[in-house]
Amino acid sequence: MSDYHMENEIIHGDCIEVMQSMPSESVDLIVTDPPYLINYKTGHRKDRSHKFCTTIANDDNAELIAKYISECYRILKPDTAMYMFCSADKVDFFKEQLDSVFEIRNMIVWVKNNWTAGDLTSAFGRQYELLFLVNKGRKEFSGTRISDVWRTKRVAGLALEHQNQKPVEIIERCILKHSEENDLVFDGFAGSGTTAVAAVYTNRRYICVEKDSYYYALARERVAGLNASVLFPDSIGRGLRTGSMEF
């Protein structure tokens, strides 16, 4: 256990600047969901002033993603892992950038319970997102070997606090497969704070960064409002909550 001052904090700031202040080889695992480079915003809200109707910041900034991947490699300890979500639309770019420094182990397919709208008469509905598992060196997974096709429902309805929010069950699975209790998990694009929530549930330390003021406040509130029962030792590290996950 170190006394690193950023531990168990959601930091309001630019991820690159924060990472550049972090020591090299100081992080045990990265689980992250960066901008997909597709200028995403929802077109299905009646209230056009809703936060989800605003294009996600830096969702056209390929240079940022390249710098981010490089910094991820630097701050990770040797023989560790990173999980990075991306869109099928930009998978070639992400694969090229990741492959330049990491060893790509899997391109995991997350199959959701819904599919995209898009062009309804010339393209089939896309029902998946992609999740790269990469290694810095070689990191063995914990537990049994599982498939690279994961099925779980997306976050929807009132539970959806960020337009690209990922289910906590997926993030927990990543954490449990490639880290140990008390390890340090990093996410430079915290969004609504799901990585921090999953880290608390699995008894890991975390450092998360979020630039957007609204989501920064939301993430901090979400972590602070976790059910107090998860803070007791007998309920932490209880393993993956597989109720909505399928292998």
Structural domain spans, the chain: 9-227
Point out the least confidently predicted range of 15-29, 83-97, 108-122, 206-220: 108-122
Query: pTM for the full model?
Result: 0.85
User: Above 80 in pLDDT, residue 198?
Assistant: yes
pLDDT attached to residue 200: 96
Distance, CA of 172 to CA of 175 (rounded, Å): 5
pLDDT attached to residue 2: 46
- Write the CB contacts of 247 (distance below 8 Å, at least 6 apart in sequence): 146, 147, 150, 151
Q: How many CB atoms are located within 10 Å of the residue 198 CB?
A: 27
The whole-chain average pLDDT of the chain stands at 85
Considering the domain 9-227, what is its CATH architecture?
A: 3-Layer(aba) Sandwich (3.40)
User: Above 70 in pLDDT, residue 233?
Assistant: no
User: Above 70 in pLDDT, residue 54?
Assistant: no
Distance, CA of 49 to CA of 29 (rounded, Å): 37
pLDDT attached to residue 226: 80
Q: Which residues are bridge partners to 98 per DSSP?
A: none
